[in-house]
Every structure is written in C-alpha cells, then in structure tokens.
Amino acid sequence: MSLMEGMLHIMDENAKAQGFGRVRTVILEIGKLAGVEVEALRFAFEAVTEGSIAEGATLEIEEPQGLGWCVECERESSIETRYDPCPLCGKVPLAITGGTEMRVKALDVE
C-alpha cells in the first residue's frame, strides 16, 4: 500500500511538471528479488488510484530477473533467490546486482 502511495506521489509530481491530467497506463518495474508480492500490489493499485488521475488505468508490471555477481568467477548469473549459489563455483551468497528494482518506469498519459 505504501509503495502504491509512493507511486501516486510520483505521478502527481510529474503531472504538474509535465502537464498531463490523465494516466492511462502505469508501467512499474518490480524486480523478482524485491520482496514485493505483485498480486498484492495490483490490489493496492486499484485502491489508491480511485479518485486520482490514474483511476481506471492499466497497470503493467515488469519483473526483472534476479542477478548476482560472483567475486571468484567474476561473472554474473541469473538467480531465483538471494541465497542461490554461483552456478559455476557454488559460492554463497552472490553480490546482488539486479532484481531488486521498485520503480515507476513510465506512464502512458494524456
């Protein structure tokens, strides 16, 4: 819910700065390691956008893959969890380099 309120805030600021009055589509980027339940976010989206410039808008959620960097192999691998070992050498944990995003990526507006 707080994340969606953060989104509304960003939307309102941009509406003023860039002069739009209506948001048709919201594109969020929620990484697979961000610890955010995407379905809960969809539910909260409808609740917070009611009566806002994004009422009735479509929500698109991109979910970037988790990525981890192994200092031994000097290689990046895709991972499903924070504690997945390096697929090459088995080292745990990898330094997380992707998949923790929680961003408003773009808005389709008019």
- Would you tell me which residues interact with another protein (CB under 8 A)? 1-3, 6-7, 9-10, 14, 18, 20, 24-25, 27-29, 33-36, 38-39, 42, 60, 62, 64-65, 67, 76, 78, 81-83, 92-93, 96, 98, 102-110
**What is the b/e burial string over 74-95, where b = at least 16 CB atoms within 10 angstroms of the residue's CB?**
eeebebeeeebebeeeeeeebe
- The minimum distance between CB 29 and another protein, in angstroms, equals 7
Residue with tokens 């050498």: 89
- The minimum distance between CB 36 and another protein, in angstroms, equals 8
- The minimum distance between CB 8 and another protein, in angstroms, equals 10
- The minimum distance between CB 18 and another protein, in angstroms, equals 6
Q: Decide: 107 and 23 in contact? Cβ < 8 Å.
A: yes
Is the CB of 33 or the CB of 70 nearer to another protein? 33
Which of 16, 27, 25 minimizes the C-alpha distance to 64? 27
CA 47, 52, 53, 55 dihedral sign is: positive
